[in-house]
Amino acid sequence: MTQGSLNLIFIGLSFTLYIAIALRSRAASTQEYYTAGGGVSPFANGMATAADWMSAATFISMAGTVAISGYDASRFLMGWTGGFVLLTILMVPYLRKFNKATVPDFIGDRYYSKLARGVAVVCAIFICMTYIMGQMRGVGVVFSQLFGIGIPAGVLTGSAIVFVYAGLGGMKGITYTQVAQYCVMAFAYTIPAIFIAMALTGNVIPQLGLIGNYSVGDAAVPFLHKLNAINAELGFAEYTSGKLSTMNMFCITAALMCGTAGLPHVIVRFFTVKDVKAVRRSACWTLLFIAVVYLTAPTIGAFARVNLIEKLHGTAYHEAPSWFKEFEATGQMAWMDKNNDGRIQYYGPGKSASGSFSVFQGKGPIYPAYDAPESQRVGSHGERLLANKADPSNPNELYFGNDIMVMANPYMAGLPMWVIALLMAGCIAAALSTAAGLLLVLSTSISHDLMKKIIKPDLTDREEVAYARMASFAALVAAAYFGINPPSAFIAKTVAFAFGLAASSFFPTLLLGIFTTRINRAGGIAGMIAGIAFTSSYIIYFQFLGGTVEQLLFGITPEGIGFVGMLINFFVAFVVSACTEKTPASIAEMVDRIHVPTDAGAAKGHDFEI
């Protein structure tokens, strides 16, 4: 059996499973559409939230980021897990007690204003749209690699599947499919790590292997010493030391944590469990399930880096392992023989006077057209040639993308074919689960918050769900369009945007809304607008208008500026509230009520069949 057909079988099986689950648990009422009826068990919700949270980018590229930047990548590891501590002890128990379907709902009611709700809706739509574009692109890329179809066809297939169970099944359908998707993802991620840990360190548990000995060769040396030595020899910074300034590291980590705690698609997941007590328990499960992947990522990164360098550096091209040629064909790896010795050399910035280590000029590899003459496409050693000009300032010859550390891992470790098929299925599960969760928030923001609460208050619930389905269809069409024609430079940069926006708008506004009655309508709105305005103009200036490194405020990069935006939000909210009239007594009473843990009332209010 070939790898291709095995991949097909694994993905076909997993899809059958998702669709079967979605059909069994499709929403039958509005409550089920928005919050799965509030009756999901804490354990199941934990798995679903973990799947929702870990996107295709996390699954494929995070280990690669750790492999390349070592200690510096800890900001992502801590930022994206530590945010759940804030989320759990400061946010979700209270928002669950408040018992409404969406996050803008809380902001609109707490700050008794349509304008506040409107600002929140715009933020929610922007954050979700940014994310979902990347997910659809990821699905498209994986599909096109698997089935040899074009990326557009891959994106459309993915969109159709997501629409079936997210658009039609609502929150209930999504929740139970995400449970299955988490299981696929967790196995796909950890199994290759276990094999590679056994091969390199003789330890079954990757996390112990990382701090243990490197057991290949004669004398056992500590694995991290080995990695530091390799890095130093090739001209990279030591793996365990960092390059970022402490200030920048702190701000980025803080922005990612606060951003995580303010992401609407994660918050609404906790509205699906029974009561406040269940929220607390569910959050423990969520973080535990996320930790399974996040504790494995740094081990995969470190192991794969050693493996990759040992297998490729100094190897003659014609002796390079066959997987290198496969990834060369897909454009994920490339080799440029700068010194014409026929061997692959991999060097870091320490090996050149200019301190650079880019293989070629330009951002990514560009290839000659397929109908170009063979001499332009294939080099003298049989390698795939690039259309980019070589970067002559440094001796580095090996290019690889971040996703290589996960995707090539099973090949490098010589694992059986079914592990590779499982990895493909896991990758698609990661993209689909996140896309589905985002789609639901997008559609409810539009149907519930925009249509029902702002534009047409006399909407019946039945019409509201119809609008939600239409909105999810429209959002998918837009996401598919951007998946097919990606504003690629834009997508990578907007991740900073999504987290910065969540950290400077939702997080502080929700936090103040929950814990103090001193902030009134004017303060809440002014704070949100000030935070967003500062953060987005800073990011736009440095990402798109060509701001220089010298102009950075205290050396904080755009990734971390959301933290400063958050402080500005707090400050403005307090100052403006102090100068304007007090919060009405009814709102103060409402705030007191959400601090009482019982009586969350699962299916309170009207619920009807759809």
What is the chain's alpha carbon radius of gyration, rounded to the nearest angstrom?
25
Question: Any residues with CB less than 8 A from the CB of 586 and at least 6 apart, and which?
Answer: none
Taking the least distance from each CB to other proteins, the nearer of 208 and 489 is: 208
User: What beta strand segments (E) does 114-159 contain?
Assistant: none
Dihedral, CA atoms, 569, 575, 579, 581, nearest 10 degrees?
A: 50
The answer to the question of residue 403 lying near other proteins (CB under 8 A) is no
With CB under 8 A as the rule, give the number of residues binding other proteins. 49
Figure out which of the listed residues 27, 141, 162, 283 binds other proteins, where binding follows CB under 8 A: 283
Binds other proteins (CB under 8 A): choice among 222, 382, 414, 487: 222
| Angle, in degrees to the nearest 10, between helices 461-484 and 151-162 | 160
518: contact with other proteins by CB under 8 A:
no
Q: Which member of 322, 548, 598, 609 binds other proteins (CB under 8 A)? A: 598
| 295 makes contact with other proteins (CB under 8 A) | yes
Query: Do the beta carbons of residue 410 and residue 419 sit within 8 Å?
Result: yes
Spatial neighbors of 429 by CB under 8 A, at least 6 apart, are 14, 51, 180, 181, 182, 184, 185, 188
Which backbone phi and psi does 333 adopt, to 5 degrees?
-135, 155
Q: Quick check: 223 binds other proteins (CB under 8 A)?
A: yes
3-state SS of the chain: helix, strand, coil percent to 5? Answer: 70, 5, 25
Among 71, 323, 367, 571, binds other proteins (CB under 8 A): 71
Helices (H), 313-382: 322-330, 374-377
Please identify, among the stretches 216-224, 347-355, 490-498, 521-529, the one whose residues bind other proteins according to the rule CB under 8 A. Answer: 216-224
Least separation in angstroms between CB 598 and other proteins: 5
Among 112, 187, 250, 571, the residue binding other proteins under the rule CB under 8 A is: 250
Q: What is the DSSP string of 576-601?
A: HHHHSPPPPHHHHHHHHHHTS-S---
User: Applying CB under 8 A, does 78 fall inside the site for other proteins?
Assistant: yes
d(CA 103, CA 121): 9
With CB under 8 A as the contact rule, the residue among 26, 281, 313, 518 that binds other proteins is: 281
C-alpha separations of 179 from 104, 200, 429, 491 in Å: 26, 32, 10, 28
List 221's β-bridge partners, or say none: 214
Query: What's the closest the beta carbon of residue 289 comes to other proteins, in angstroms?
Result: 10
Residue 64 contacts residue 404 (beta carbons within 8 Å): yes
Q: How far is the CB of 597 from other proteins (least distance, A)?
A: 5
Tell me the per-residue interface mask from 575 to 594 with other proteins, x by CB under 8 A, - otherwise: -----------------x--
Nearer of residues 74 and 393 to other proteins, judged by Cβ: 74
Q: Interacting stretch for other proteins, rule CB under 8 A, among 13-21, 217-225, 447-455, 503-511?
A: 217-225
Site for other proteins in 79-138 (CB under 8 A): 81-82, 84-86, 88-90, 93
Site for other proteins contains 291 (CB under 8 A): yes
The DSSP H or E segment spanning 205 is none
For position 204 contacting other proteins by CB under 8 A, the verdict is no
For residue 224, state whether it binds other proteins (rule: CB under 8 A): yes
Residue 229 found at the interface with other proteins (CB under 8 A): no
Q: Which is nearer to other proteins, 94 or 482 (CB)?
A: 94
**Per CB under 8 A, 59 contacts other proteins:** no
Residues 335, 344: Cα–Cα separation, whole Å = 7
**Three-class SS state of 562:** helix
> Cβ(458)–Cβ(520) under 8 Å?
no
Question: Exactly one of 487, 595, 604, 608 binds other proteins (CB under 8 A); which one?
Answer: 595
d(CA 177, CA 169): 10
CA pair distance 74, 253, nearest whole angstrom: 8
Site string for other proteins, 542-581 (x = CB under 8 A): ----------------------------------------
Q: Using CB under 8 A, pick the residue from 24, 114, 225, 389 that binds other proteins.
A: 225
- The answer to whether 240 contacts other proteins (rule: CB under 8 A) is yes
Instruction: Return the residue of 2, 246, 322, 586 that touches other proteins, per CB under 8 A.
Output: 246
Binder among 37, 38, 118, 212 for other proteins (CB under 8 A): 212
Question: Coil, strand or helix: which one is 343?
Answer: strand
Closest separation between CB of residue 404 and other proteins, Å? Answer: 20
Query: Which residues have CB under 8 Å from 69's CB, separation 6+?
Result: 243
Q: Which residues bind other proteins (CB under 8 A)?
A: 66, 71, 74, 77-78, 81-82, 84-86, 88-90, 93, 207-208, 210-213, 222-225, 240, 246, 249-250, 253-254, 257, 274-275, 277, 280-281, 283-284, 287-288, 291, 294-295, 298, 592, 595-598
